[in-house]
Amino acid sequence: MKTQSSATAQPAIAVGTPAALPRTGGLGTLMAALGVVAFSLTFPATAWGLEGFGPWALVAVRSVLAALIAGACLLVLRVPPPARRHWAGLAVVAAGVVVGFPLLTTLALRTSTTAHAAVVVGLLPLTTALLSALRMGTRPSRTFWAAALAGAAAVAAFTVQQSGGALTGADLYLFGALLVCAAGYTEGGRLARVMPGWQVIGWALVFCLPLTVPAAGLALAHEPVHLTAHSVAGLLWVAAGSQFLGLVVWYRGMAAIGIPRASQLQLAQPLLTLVWSVLLLGEHLTPAAPLTAAAVLVCITVTQRSRG
């Protein structure tokens, strides 16, 4: 959405507009990397949240809380509503990132381990790059694609091995989440080129309130709630960290360095998720983790240096 707010109306965040960011360089990579770190905590935090909330309540309440944070920022900074021509793109972001991915992965995590769910994240960079090429006409180099495919294969093999290689009923949820999230990332990255990235996710969250508020009320009325330190902490993180702040820096990074290259940073996300799973959930890693991490870092380096 192409807002017409002035620099004086947004003194604290105007520096985050695409015009103020270099098209390539360290700042954009840093922003995208911070988004990956935030996202890497999503699955463990969701597992914590499911200790006290039902899946539908967790997804709806997290979206409402994130929308309240985003709406407060938009209101305080007096950001005007987005132009009508951006509404369709925002709808894609909302469907993919605000509703689709959180709901499908939360439903999957009822029966799937975080290690198995990380298969989705391992394949997400490649899927995002493919959708970006179709949607925006980008043409990454052959070296880029070779490194992306190699990295995705390494991460997929590692995470499948971690889960024992068994397919579960959660896989349909996970593959659906992969597709809708890649679509949301692609459209959000496109919109972040013409407006601050925080406004992209902010308006997408706010536009979902007519759906998420009644959904939260219904879910809380029909699903049991058991408040614990873990469930509250998990809810707060997926709402503030994953659903808003993480997407703010992620879209900002994509606008600066491009969707294909930013998406390849997510090759490291499954490994980070597994680290958090060990520390927070008590899951165990195999000796293959260091080898996979090294392979992923090589692939990220190649994709970041390749020219489209």
Q: How far apart are CA 231 and CA 238, in angstroms?
A: 11
Average of per-residue pLDDT across 244-257: 85
- Classify the C-alpha dihedral 283-55-48-291 as positive or negative: positive
How many residues appear in the chain?
308
- Residues 149, 306: contact at Cβ < 8 Å? no
Mean pLDDT is lowest, of 27-31, 66-70, 75-79, for 27-31
Residue 270 reports pLDDT greater than 80: yes
| Per-residue pLDDT at 235 | 96
Compute the C-alpha angle 251/235/249, nearest 5°.
15
Q: What is the overall mean pLDDT for the chain?
A: 83
Residue 13 reports pLDDT greater than 60: no
| Per-residue pLDDT at 25 | 61
Locus of tokens 């080898």: 291
For the entire predicted model, the pTM comes to 0.79
Q: How far apart are CA 98 and CA 60, in angstroms?
A: 10
Residues 19-61 have pLDDT tens digits of 344 444 688 889 999 999 999 999 999 999 999 999 999 999 9
